[in-house]
Chain A
Amino acid sequence: MSLFYDARIRAFLYQTIAIGAVVFVAWAMFSTASANLAKQDIATGFGFLARQAGFVITETAIAYEPTDTFGRAILVGIANTVKVSALAVFFGTILGVLVGIGRLSHNPVLSRLMLAYVEALRNVPLLLYLLLWYSLIISVFPPVKQAIEMLPGVFLSNSGLVMPAMRWASGFESLLIALFVGAAAAVAIERVLARRRIATGKEMPVATIAALAFLLPLAATLLFADISVSMDVPELGRFRLTGGYHVRPEFVALLIGLTLSASANVAEIVRAGIQAVSKGQWEAATALGLPRSRTLKLVILPQALRIIVPPLTNTYLTVFKNSSLAIAIGYPDLVMVSNTIMNQTGQAIEAIAIFMAVYLGLSILISLVMNWYNARVALRER
């Protein structure tokens, strides 16, 4: 009995019990599951990934045909998830920063309106909003037969927005390279000029030079490279629109829903971040004669950013995870594709394991990227 009073032995005992319990539960579940699956004649393992999928995915961010494999279908699902979450994060951040600043405006009408916006979004479930936006799109716009032709070749109907698409015969790659080279050059020039300004105090028209550096490679490529493009203009048939680029209502509803909910969260984070910057900073900037907008841009926001980034990471992760609500309105994201595979193959465990692993992996990736950014903007204490 005296052994039990030894802290080290007790620690060892507790840990052994905990690990033993987890291992036992895992083993029990595994063995019953394999017995059940054998009885129901369901295959196990990931062999199904190489088999032909055979189902249609309405929205494909990467090339996909029903003759492709289940593995490819899952990749399409991942690409769709990433596409909609990345766009929602992008637009949601911009909108959220504007709303968050608007919340702190001295204009009472603006600040109250922004408050109402945030409260309306935060107090109603996202799923409800998704369904609402979706049925709004479906019910407000006319059926395909009476599609509105907004511009020549641009059709709006309850099956989405169809517009002319560019089909690249050649020159797409060189244009892409020019875009990257220009962007890199612009960033480099901005850095060099900033260092020069700090060293010499001389102001240079940074924006103009950077814009030139960005546009020059593009212009050169457009002029000299062999670019051939054909326009794929949609045509209105009897029952459907053929050709062109199709923006589907499921995608639009999901993007709007995710963007708005992200913007409300970002707005609250930005507001809290700005309010956390001490009042003396405002007063000092005002004393220096800076107008309110420049105070915000040059003094307050850089300091607020340090407070804002960690909770912002959480918001981005939430957006990414919330994109799984796509299944409710039929946007083929990772969860919906996995669900289809689950129904076709009966291999529920594998399908769920795959999408959980993908979500987990991408969540960790987003956390790492945001932590890296956070370390960059964090206060360097000397």
Chain B
Amino acid sequence: MAQFEGFVADPILMAPAARPRVSNRTWLSAYFGTPGNALITILCLGTIFGLAKLAIGWLFLDAIFSGTPAECKVSSGACWPFLSTKLRYIFFGFYPFDEQWRPLTAMLLFLGACGVSMVPRTWGRALAVTWIVVILPTLYALMAGGLFGLTVVPTTQWGGLPLSFMLSFVGLACALPLGIALALARASSLPAIRILGVGFIEIVRGVPLISILFMATVMLPLFMPDGITIDKLLRAQVAIILFAAAYIAEIVRGGLQAVPKGQIEAGHSLGLHYWQIMRKIVLPQALKKVIPPLVGLFIGFFQDTTLVTIVGLLDFLDTVRTAMRDPQWQGIAVLEGYVFAAVVYFFFSALMGAYSRFLEQYFRTTHD
């Protein structure tokens, strides 16, 4: 003990610790602590107030809630009758009016199934089989008809929000296996396969989606033998799948690179061959890592499906536009439709964004 005596007796160390200075910051000082900060707060509040005033004035105070196009024309506010008369067209496009319960049911079924599938606990083989065997055929039967006495509705009459959902969901679902295959090709040790993979991915990522949609709608018919025509909707769908696959491949590649090399070597030493190693060892680890960024990518593709309106498909944005171009409402409802569409897109995108953040948190807390 003796050797510590000098240490213990050190007067400086023996002195009571200085009381930590109590911060005089209150909640108010975060807002008005310094003159600069106060100015920022006031400017921000002013902006918020101005925007809110503008929005409330347009949406409610100056708005017309019921009436004719003529009444809307003289008012400076929003024209709610436009939305209420056009709502069914905006949602379902030219789908036969009396049959519109079918896309509605399909959409509710789809959203419900998505909601259930978003819970990680439900993930597994059973869920995938349910989707492929039950949900997707039911959705298709509801939309297309021809079964159970439902009248046939050709794809040229499909439109609105169900079409947007279909383009983005089917697009991603089909692009996922293709993207994984491309990522594997890019990581392959066979030079020809690798070059083909890199070539496809980089070319698709280097050009805008609109050019691929143009290719699919304008160029593809020229490449088809006589007598074979492919449905326009299907062509756009294929374009979206190919486009999405290249982006998915890059994300999956990130996941593949994050799997330690030792995993592959361990697989080899167990005598597994390439596909077994990929299927049973590498991909399960890689895909788990990339699920959150994939959901993020999905938000982007959901928004990108709006581009099909440029090549003349009636997606949700296009039904909004054509509704506003109706001679009865032309020049009257110039913003209402867009604002409504923006709210709908915002709702679904923000929902998926929140889900992506939830997944990130979920995977961080469960062990890898």
Contacts and interface: CB of A to CB of B under 8 A. Distances in A.
B230 interface: no
Contacts of B306: 125, 127-128
A107 B41 contact: yes
Chain B residues touching A, range: 35 or more
B223 interface: yes
A110 B219 CA distance: 49
B346 A135 contact: no
A13 B241 CA distance: 28
30 contacts: A16-B192, A18-B196, A32-B222, A33-B222, A105-B40, A107-B30, A109-B40, A109-B44, A109-B45, A113-B47, A122-B299, A123-B349, A123-B350, A124-B346, A125-B317, A125-B345, A127-B317, A128-B338, A128-B342, A128-B345, A131-B321, A131-B338, A132-B339, A135-B334, A325-B307, A328-B310, A339-B214, A352-B211, A355-B211, A359-B211
The B contact surface, by secondary structure, is: helix
B262 interface: no
Interface residues of A, number: 53
Residue from A14, A123, A139 whose CB has the most chain B CB atoms within 10 Å:
A123
B191 to A, nearest CB: 7
Interface in B1-51: 30-31, 37, 40-41, 44-45, 47-48
A350 B309 CA distance: 23
Given A128-B306, A352-B214, A113 B192 contact: no
Given A36-B226, A107-B31, A124-B346, 6 more contacts: A105-B40, A128-B317, A136-B335, A324-B210, A325-B310, A335-B214
Interface of A: 11, 14-16, 18-19, 22, 29, 32-33, 36-37, 105-110, 113, 119-120, 122-129, 131-132, 135-136, 138-139, 321-322, 324-325, 327-328, 335, 339, 342, 348-349, 352, 355-356, 359-360, 363-364
Interface string B300-342: 0001101101100000010001000000000000110011011
Interface in B178-197: 189-193, 196
Nearest to A361: B206
B208 A359 contact: yes
Contacts, number: 144
B21 to A, nearest CB: 15
A15 B219 contact: no
Contact of B345 (A123, A321, A327): A123
A18 B47 CA distance: 59
Interface of B: 30-31, 37, 40-41, 44-45, 47-48, 189-193, 196, 203, 205-211, 214-215, 218-219, 222-226, 299, 303-304, 306-307, 309-310, 317, 321, 334-335, 338-339, 341-342, 345-346, 349-350, 353
B225 A32 contact: yes
